[in-house]
Structure 1
Amino acid sequence: MDIRLDAISHFYGDTEVLRDISLDIPDGKIVCLVGPSGCGKSTLLRLIGGLERATKGRVLQLGSPPKGCLNPLTYVFQDFALLPWRSVHGNISLVLEDHGIRGARADTIISDVLARTKLSDFSKALPRQLSGGMKQRVAVARALAVKPAVMLLDEPLSALDSQTRELLMDDLVALWARQPFTATYVTHNLQEAVRLGHRIVVLSRRPGQIREIVEIDMPLAKRQHRTPELEKIQRHLWDLMREEARAADEELLDV
């Protein structure tokens, strides 16, 4: 299923947050949103996910969700959003219970996503027993359990240390290689964007507008090690953002 943003603009009161965003999110591709602080990245993700309605423009879902899809649009958040009193199995089963799926059918789905996220040995563990990286794997497994058409990831690795972030990026690439999924991925980390994004959308300062869309043709599996090509793309992204990022930082400090 493709997502198309058609001339999206959005206001909070008198404040214009996004202006005239038109963008295609193709089926089976990861589209990363980057830009200076306060440019509206997370707001745009909420509009795509239907948590808010755009002031102007339309968010279109084109095509049909995959077979067995329970939630066409599914979030993965920065803070994991796990219930502390439920085990790993229980946290994943929660999203299935909302659809009346329990018992053996639920166990089959959960076993599959635990295997895909390398969590099979931790089914009975509670969140407090898990590292940050493991908790985020549970959040990803929970999202996969509903077979989403599009995953919406809001800075999912930003709370993790650099080594764990590298491992989770490898895990996401392995998941995509096994079964390509469609995703919109918000990040402030340009290295993440270059590692994971088939398409990188650079937004301007508020009101966020598309400054440039950067396509990366290199397969995800070949991006594990930094190459001159990837470093050049990352420098280009930073060149696009540097002055606006500095201005946005000073603006936030003045508030």
Structure 2
Amino acid sequence: MDLRADHITHRYGDMTVLEDVSLDIPAGEILCIIGPSGCGKSTLLRLLGGLEKPTAGQVLQLGAPPAGCLNPLTYVFQDFALLPWRSVQGNVSLVLEDHGLERHASDAIIDDVLARTKLSDFKAALPRQLSGGMKQRVAIARALAVNPAVMLLDEPLSALDAQTRELLMDDLIGLWSRQPFTGVYVTHNLAEAVRLGHRIAVLSRRPGRVREVIEVPMDLTDRRPGMAELEQMQSRLWNMMRDEALAADQELADV
């Protein structure tokens, strides 16, 4: 299933947050969205996921979801959003409980996604026993459990330290290489964008408009930290954003 933002404009009262945004997210591709603070990145993700309705324009789901899809769109949040009284297995099983699955089918799905996210040995652990990186792996496993057509990731690594971010980026690339998924990945971190995005959409400062969509030519599985090609692309993105990022920062500080 492809996802399309078709001339989306969104306002909160008199404030226009997004203006005439059009984007295509083909099946099997990860689109990263970057831009200055306050440009509407997370708002755009909520609109794509149906949590809010755009003031103008529309979000289109094109084609059929994959076989076995229990939920076409699913989120991975920055703050993990785990239930503290439920184990790792219990947090993952939560998204399956309203789908009428037999116990053996549900258990098979849980075992599969825990294995794919390296959590099989921690299924009985509670969130308070886990590191930040492990908590985010649980959130990713929970999202994968419904076999979504599109995963919507809202700065999923921003609360983690640098080493854990690198490990989780490797994990996401590994997950995609074994079973390609469609993703929309919002981030303020340019290193994440060039490591994880097949394409990168650069938004302007508020109201957010699509300044440019840049294709990352390297195969996703060939990318490594510190590669010259990635650092050059990161510099290009920063040069494109620098003045607007500074202006947005000063604007937010003055509010």
**TM-score by structure 2 length?**
0.99
Match of 2:48 in 1: 48
Deviation at residue 222 of structure 1 after TM alignment:
1.1
Query: Equivalents in 2 of 1:78, 1:5: separation in Å?
Result: 23
Match of 1:112 in 2: 112
Question: What are the equivalent positions in structure 2 for 1:166-177 lying under 5 Å apart?
Answer: 166-177=166-177
Name the SS for the 2:8 alignment partner. strand
* Equivalent pair of 1:96/1:102 in contact (CA under 8 Å): no
Match of 1:85 in 2: 85
* Equivalent pair of 1:10/1:54 in contact (CA under 8 Å): yes
Query: Equivalents in 2 of 1:102, 1:75: separation in Å?
Result: 24
Does 2:236 correspond to 1:236? yes
Match of 1:156 in 2: 156
Q: Deviations over 1:213-234 (max 9, x none)?
A: 1101211111123222111110
Name the SS for the 1:52 alignment partner. coil
Does 2:197 correspond to 1:179? no
Sequence identity, in percent? 74
Aligned positions, number: 255
Deviation at residue 195 of structure 1 after TM alignment:
0.3
Deviation at residue 164 of structure 1 after TM alignment:
0.2
List gaps (5 residues or longer) in structure 2. none
Does 2:128 correspond to 1:128? yes
Query: Equivalents in 2 of 1:210, 1:225: separation in Å?
Result: 27
Q: Deviations over 1:1-54 (max 9, x none)?
A: 101111110000010000001110011000000000000000000000000000
Query: Equivalents in 1 of 2:99, 2:38: separation in Å?
Result: 36
Query: Equivalents in 2 of 1:221, 1:162: separation in Å?
Result: 20
Name the SS for the 2:213 alignment partner. strand
* Equivalent pair of 1:16/1:207 in contact (CA under 8 Å): yes
Query: Equivalents in 2 of 1:119, 1:86: separation in Å?
Result: 15
Bigger mean CA offset, 232-241 vs 97-106: 97-106
Deviation at residue 102 of structure 1 after TM alignment:
4.8
Does 2:73 correspond to 1:73? yes
Query: Equivalents in 2 of 1:27, 1:198: separation in Å?
Result: 12
Q: Which amino acid aligns with 1:61?
A: Q
* Equivalent pair of 1:35/1:202 in contact (CA under 8 Å): yes
Cα distance change on mapping 1:102 and 1:138 into 2, 3 Å: farther
* Equivalent pair of 1:204/1:244 in contact (CA under 8 Å): yes
Q: Deviations over 1:126-158 (max 9, x none)?
A: 000000000000000000000000000000000
* Equivalent pair of 1:150/1:184 in contact (CA under 8 Å): yes
Match of 2:5 in 1: 5
List gaps (5 residues or longer) in structure 1. none
Name the SS for the 1:32 alignment partner. strand
Deviation at residue 250 of structure 1 after TM alignment:
0.6
**TM-score by structure 1 length?**
0.99
Query: Equivalents in 1 of 2:70, 2:225: separation in Å?
Result: 36
Q: CA RMSD in A?
A: 0.7
Query: Equivalents in 1 of 2:239, 2:212: separation in Å?
Result: 12
Question: What are the equivalent positions in structure 2 for 1:14-25 lying under 5 Å apart?
Answer: 14-25=14-25
